[in-house]
Amino acid sequence: MAEIKTPTPHIAARRGEIAETILLPGDPLRAKYIADHFLEDAVQFNATRNMFGFTGTYRGKPVSVMGTGMGCPSIGIYSYELIHAYGCKNLIRVGTAGAMQPHVKIRDMVFGMGACTDSRYVRQFRLPGDYSCICSFGLLEKAVAAAQAKGLTCHVGNILSSDVFYNPDLPPAGKTWAEMGVLAVEMEAAALYSNAAAAGVNALCILTVSDSLVTGESTTAEERQTTFTNMMEVALELV
Ligand code: HPA
């Protein structure tokens, strides 16, 4: 694995200041919220571009948390540096998604077993076909067990990492993602999963459904907070 020098262009930490397990919300203020409310003895390691990152402990175990920004290019940069410069081994995205199936309700959790994508990010690996971006089975198994133990509804399956949030509603050329069983849409998992696979490390994307493309419903700010706390309880079981 190619190692890159620290500090990197986007992360101001020195090697050793970031834990092997890192939680990755899209929003850097979410990272600060997680550090303040869920971690002990959290120390900030990054503020470059206000992409806040912290390392602390959870039940005595070291864990870091850092924002990724939105989209495959942004999480692609941060996850690459976290893996290759800082030695991160377990990268867990915690985010929101839009439901694409009627049985996936707002407030539910979705674990991305696979991530389809309309992004060109994965093409960098120049594979002779379409790569299946998949999560770490070990992390997924633990996340499912944690959600079940807490009585939380979770769906496990394919998600779509799309480059386009404001998607023009064009008729598809062939099948729709929903017709292929894709559960929900977000914007980052495919880049995270392919970077992790290329480096031989573990990744998982845990989502709460913030809105439904099927019904047009969306969660209130209060509901987003509650579902976020549920998702964090699952994510922290992976530390
Ligand atoms: N699209 C992409 N990302 C999202 C969405 C969506 O509808 N909802 C939450 N994250």
pLDDT in tens, 90-141: 999 999 999 999 999 999 999 999 999 999 999 999 999 999 999 999 999 9
Q: What is the rounded CA–CA span in Å between residue 137 and residue 139?
A: 6
User: Is the pLDDT confidence value at 89 over 90?
Assistant: yes
Does the pLDDT at position 85 exceed 60? yes
53, part of any domain? yes
How far, in Å, CA of 66 to CA of 79, rounded? 10
Distance (Å) from CA 57 to ligand 1 centroid: 30
**C-alpha 114 to ligand 1 mean position (Å):** 16
User: What domain range includes position 193?
Assistant: 21-236
**In 11-115, where does DSSP find H-type helix?**
28-38, 72-84
Q: What is the pLDDT of residue 2?
A: 63
Indicate the residue type of 27.
D
CA of 2 from ligand 1 middle (Å) equals 33
Residue 225 pLDDT exceeds 60: yes
What one-letter code names the amino acid at 117? Answer: T
Question: How many helices, marked H, and strands, marked E, lie in the chain?
Answer: 5, 10
Chain centroid to CA 126: 24
Examine residue 101 and state whether it is found in any structural domain, yes or no. Answer: yes
User: How many Å is the Cα radius of gyration of the chain?
Assistant: 17
Indicate which CATH number applies to the domain containing 131: 3.40.50.1580
Instruction: Find the range with the poorest average confidence among 2-16, 71-85, 128-142, 201-215.
Output: 2-16
For residue 173, pLDDT over 90 is answered with no
| Annotation marks residue 163 as catalytic | no
Structural domain contains residue 32:
yes
Question: What's residue 169's pLDDT?
Answer: 80
Task: Return the ligand 1 atom nearest residue 167 CA.
Answer: 1
Q: Are strands 184-186 and 133-134 parallel, antiparallel or unpaired?
A: unpaired
CA distance 39 to 34: 7
Beta-sheet pairing, 21-25 with 133-134: unpaired
pLDDT of 171: 83
Counting the structural domains of the chain, the total is 1
Predicted local confidence at residue 80, as pLDDT:
98
Q: What pLDDT band is residue 32 in, cutting at 50, 70 and 90?
A: very high
What's the confidence (pLDDT) of residue 211?
97
Q: What is the pTM of this model?
A: 0.97
**Is residue 184 within 8 Å of 79, Cβ to Cβ?**
no
Q: Is the pLDDT of residue 157 over 70?
A: yes
Confirm whether 81 is domain-assigned.
yes
Provide CB contacts within 8 A for 77, sequence distance 6+: 10
User: What pLDDT sits at residue 172?
Assistant: 83
pLDDT tens column, 40-69: 999 999 999 999 999 999 999 999 999 999
Q: Cα–Cα distances in Å, from 226 out to 117, 154, 160, 204, 222? A: 29, 15, 24, 21, 6
Quick check: is 16 in a domain?
Answer: no
5 occurs within a structural domain: no
Does some domain include residue 105?
yes
Neighbours of 137 (CB within 10 A): 11
Ligand 1, residues 210, 219, 231: which to mutate, most atoms within 8 A of Cβ? 210
Q: What is the pLDDT of residues 175-202, one digit of tens each?
A: 999 999 999 999 999 999 999 999 999 9
Pocket residues: Cβ below 6 A from ligand 1: 96-98, 162, 165, 185-187, 210-211
State the chain's mean pLDDT as an integer.
96
How many Å from the N-terminal Cα to the C-terminal Cα in the chain?
23
Domain-embedded: residue 12: no
Residue 1 reports pLDDT greater than 70: no
